[in-house]
A and B are shown apart, each in its own frame.
Chain A
Amino acid sequence: MRTVARIALAAVVVAALGAAAQGQPAERGVSATEIVVGTTMPLSGPAAFWGVPISGAMEAWFRHLNDQGGINGRRLRLVAKDDGYLPPRAVANTRELVERDGVFALVSSLGTANVFAARDYVIESQTIWITPLGGTDIWAGFRQRKYLFVTYPSYIEEGIYLTTYAAANLRARNIAVFYQNDLYGQQGLLGVKRGVDRARGTRLVAQVSYEVTDAEVSAQAQKMRESGADTVILYATPRHGALIVREMARLGFRPTLLSSFTLADPAMFALAGEAWNNVYLTAYFPLPGTGDARVDATLATLSRINPALARNPFNAIAGVGFVEPFLEGLRRAGRDLTKDRLVSAMETLRNWDGEVMRGVTFGPDRRQGTNRIFMIKSEAGRYTKLTDWYTYPTRF
């Protein structure tokens, strides 16, 4: 028996060597049987609540695809590294993923600071870069973006939409913004300011910031109450979003609430309770549990492979959304995969619908894969869709 096993093993090794010798590796990270994809994320530290479910979902989704035979006969392998949300470590990981682990493509990289720090290197090394999460608007006017593909909404455009929607449909006049004091919140604020310029009769009465390290936000709530705002727009993490709405409710201050899509997380109902009723939010993909069969099926698949993901459905689904267009590009590029073939294949995506992302479009001059959002509303512990897609102009 042992002899047989040894012979079999030897045969496999010889076959593998032969295959390796034959199919000369045409492209880094692509072998006859495998495609290697890398990511660096905050998997520990205060931003881990974001990085863990997103990378976990990508890994689970890859396993799901591999169980079905992979893509064009190749299995997908994700190499994930922890950067603790620290820019130097993110860059070190990125370089190692490219130069040592030899990944075919990089997926994401979380946080503006980390994306900025890694940007020069990724662009110069001509590595495929899928949806770096650091504010979509930083790519506007950026020229060397052949290998860059972004399917994430713009916070500025979102701010404009939220404001104009509130003015037109919710009788908003005096608007206050509660925002995180980093590029995410600042771009949202910028969007709201532009929206106020467009919507006649509205004005910005308060812009109140918090630091992501702040434990509580009672002074912010009171400041907004004093400003006499009838409408409050939120750009916050789930924790701070829940804190501020509860604090406002406690003060008896109940303005019309609108929020960025980052809070379109079902977890908000548990965190904020009653206070998370009648909040108007945007979304850029159909949320789990809102009647979209494909999204719900995706979540079921993810939860089956990694049960922990069921606790964080919103970020898990978003994680699939980030990689989905790239996977479709791999399918379209065919068996003979190279970097440039992938780019050409990605550029054929026209209004493409995936399991999560809908209406993704790329082109020779277009790297902003999505430019659509829609409005939802929170009612009695669930989100309901209010509007159809709102489309804003692409900028890159």
Chain B
Amino acid sequence: MFTPLAPGRAAPGLARIPLFAVARTLVERYEDDLYLVKGPAAWTAVAALLIGLAALPFLLPRLGMGYLLFIAVLASANVIVAVGLNLLVGYAGLISLGHAGFVAIGAYASGLLAARLEVPWPAAWLGAAAISAAFGFLVGLPALRLTGPYLTIATLGFGIAVYQVLTNWTELSGGRGGLSVPALGLGVGGMSAIQQLALVAITAAVALCWIAYNLARSHIGRALAAIRDSDIAAEVTGVSLTWYKTLAFAISAAYAGVAGAIIAQALRHLEPQAFTFLESITYFAMIVVGGLGTVTGGIIGALLLTLIPHYLSGIKQWLPIAYGAVIIAMMLFEPQGLYGRWLRIRRYFKAWPL
């Protein structure tokens, strides 16, 4: 049941479409075709996007929208989780309803490394990714035998187990009393704490998305897609199921771990309540709404499902109705995820006068 079909199944296809409709140069060699960004126009667009993102932490407070910086941090964290989860669900066809567990592990690992061992934050974040990846590898082991709802329940149970351990192993986590996390410092003057965090979080999100784009069109991405489409066929053609399935879980968990480290910084005080089953479901909804099996889909979904509840928070108890209706509407409007719509709009403009 859980074999997702999505647009852009051939992962490298992403790279082939330039960002803007320009006269395409002839592709002469295979290597040319593999470039992620092709042509001067595309490069300009990418550069503009990156500069825009980098300027965001400085620009928003100037525009009197400083309160959006925290949302930008949350959105970055969610983008990272969603992109990582999409590698697992969208590319490898495995399922996880326990990703809040990996996020929690990343958050607490970074917090404990920084608070107890006084590790500098970049090392603490890397440590968080590594520890989370190790747990991802362990959770990937039952995935070798389980699929569909059976795997769903196993991962769901993992998420709940992490929550209960963090709640009750007070010596480690501080339990429900919580764990204080020291703030990261860039050592740059003139920037507020939230500006620094936003800059770091956005940078991390961009870097991890870039890695994901490249992973997706590497042999790893192709192996994962082959497993998704038919694991038996993939195994026959020499794809090691054991290695790639556990690898997919480990990579996905590492992404969630980094996101956890960002959330730890955003909250500065960790409490298991921030990492419940509800969060796992939300991450899952993000990638489906955005589009399975594409990196961009994960980004779109994460941004939307972060911003929608935030902007609806003022309608109070009507929030779930509006939020649920928007999710249903998006799925009816674009059953394959919003990324498909984005592709169609682009194609329309590319062919425009016609």
Contact = CB atoms under 8 A, between A and B. Distances in A.
A and B touch in the complex (CB under 8 A): yes
Contact of B319 (A84, A91, A114, A183): A84
B266 A88 contact: yes
Contacts of A85: 273
Given A111-B273, A117-B267, A89 B309 contact: yes
Nearest to B192: A124
Nearest to A48: B317
Nearest to B321: A44
A186 interface: yes
Given A84-B309, A120-B268, A181-B167, A95 B273 contact: no
A92 B319 contact: no
A357 B75 CA distance: 41
Interface residues of A, number: 39
Interface stretch (B66-74, B142-150, B211-219): B66-74
Interface stretch (A75-83, A191-199, A229-237, A310-318): A75-83
A89 B267 CA distance: 10
Given A48-B317, A95-B70, A98-B67, A88 B177 contact: no
Interface in A96-131: 96, 98-100, 111-114, 116-117, 119-120
A87 B273 contact: yes
B169 to A, nearest CB: 13
A186 B67 contact: no
A52 interface: yes
B66, B74, B175, B271, most chain A CB atoms within 10 A? B271
Interface in A33-62: 40, 43-45, 48, 52, 55
Given A92-B310, A181-B168, A116 B317 contact: no
Interface residues of B, number: 34
Contacts of A89: 309-310, 313
Interface in B255-306: 263, 266-269, 271-274, 276, 278-279
B190 interface: no
Contacts of A45: 278, 320
Contact of B313 (A52, A82, A181, A183): A82
B178 A112 contact: yes
Contact of B74 (A82, A88, A96, A111): A88
B277 to A, nearest CB: 9
Contact of B269 (A99, A117, A182): A117
Contacts of B319: 43-44, 82, 84
Given A87-B271, A111-B273, A99 B313 contact: no
Nearest to A180: B176
B71, B272, B274, most chain A CB atoms within 10 A? B274
B39 to A, nearest CB: 39
A300 interface: no
B274 A99 contact: no
B316 interface: yes
B166 to A, nearest CB: 12
User: Could you tell me the dominant secondary structure of chain A's interface residues?
Assistant: helix
Interface string B170-204: 00000111100000000000000000000000000
Contact of B67 (A55, A96, A182): A96
Contacts of A112: 176-178, 271, 273
A44 B317 contact: yes
Contacts of A87: 267, 271, 273-274
Nearest to A117: B267
A92 B70 contact: yes
Contacts of B272: 113
A56 to B, nearest CB: 10
A370 interface: no
B314 interface: yes
A133 interface: no
Interface in B308-342: 309-310, 312-317, 319-320
A112 B66 CA distance: 26
B74 A92 contact: yes
B74, B269, B272, B278, most chain A CB atoms within 10 A? B269
A383 to B, nearest CB: 29
B310 A182 contact: no
B316 A117 contact: no
Nearest to B170: A186
Interface in A130-179: 138
Given A91-B267, A99-B67, A112-B271, A81 B316 contact: yes
A93 interface: yes
Contact of A182 (B66, B71, B176, B279): B176
A120 B194 CA distance: 12
A86 B274 CA distance: 6
A18 B167 CA distance: 56
B306 to A, nearest CB: 9
Contacts of B316: 43-44, 55, 80-82
A138 B175 CA distance: 14
A167 to B, nearest CB: 28
Nearest to B276: A86
23 contacts: A40-B313, A48-B317, A81-B314, A81-B316, A82-B316, A86-B273, A88-B74, A88-B267, A88-B274, A91-B266, A93-B313, A95-B67, A112-B273, A113-B272, A117-B267, A117-B268, A117-B269, A117-B274, A119-B269, A181-B167, A181-B168, A182-B176, A186-B176
Q: Which 6 A-B pairs have the closest CB atoms?
A: A113-B273, A113-B271, A99-B67, A116-B269, A81-B313, A87-B274
Given A112-B273, A181-B167, 18 more contacts: A43-B316, A43-B319, A44-B317, A45-B320, A48-B317, A84-B278, A86-B274, A86-B276, A87-B267, A88-B266, A92-B70, A113-B274, A117-B274, A119-B269, A120-B269, A138-B177, A181-B168, A186-B176
